Chains A and B, each alone.
Chain A
Amino acid sequence: MTAPDEPPRRLPVPVRLIARETIGSFLTRLAFANSLHVAHLLSLARISRARSFTPATDDTAGWSPSAPDMIAALAGRSLPDLAAAIPLLAGMAPAGTALLRACGHCTAKKNVTGMVITRASPRDYLCARHQQWLRGIHRPSLASLPEVADSQRRHDRRTANVPDQDIARAHRQAQDITSQWLASGWHPALTERWQHRHHRLAAAIPGLEAVLTGVITHPEMLAIARLLITSQRTPGIRPQDIADRLSFPYPGRPHPLDPLHKYLSQ
Chain B
Amino acid sequence: MAKLRGKAAVSGIGETAYTRGTTKSGLALQLEASLKAIDDAGIDPRDIDGCIPYFPGAGIAEDFIANLGIKDLTLSAFIPMGGATCVAALQTAAMAVATGVCKHVLISVGRTGYSGARVSTRLQQFPQFALAAEFEAPIGMFAPAQLYAQGARRHMELYGTTERHLAEIAVTTRKHAILNGNVVMNKPLTVEEHHASRMISDPFRLFDCSLESDGGAAVIVTAADRAKDLKKPVVSILGVAEGHPESPASIAQRPDLLEFGLVKAAARAFTIAGVGPQDMDVAQIYDCFTFTVIRQLEILGFCRTGEGGPFIMDGRIGLGGELPINTHGGLLSQGHVVGLNHVIELTRQLRGEGGKAQVKEAELGLVTGYGDMGDGSLAIMARGAA
Is the pairing of A and B real? no
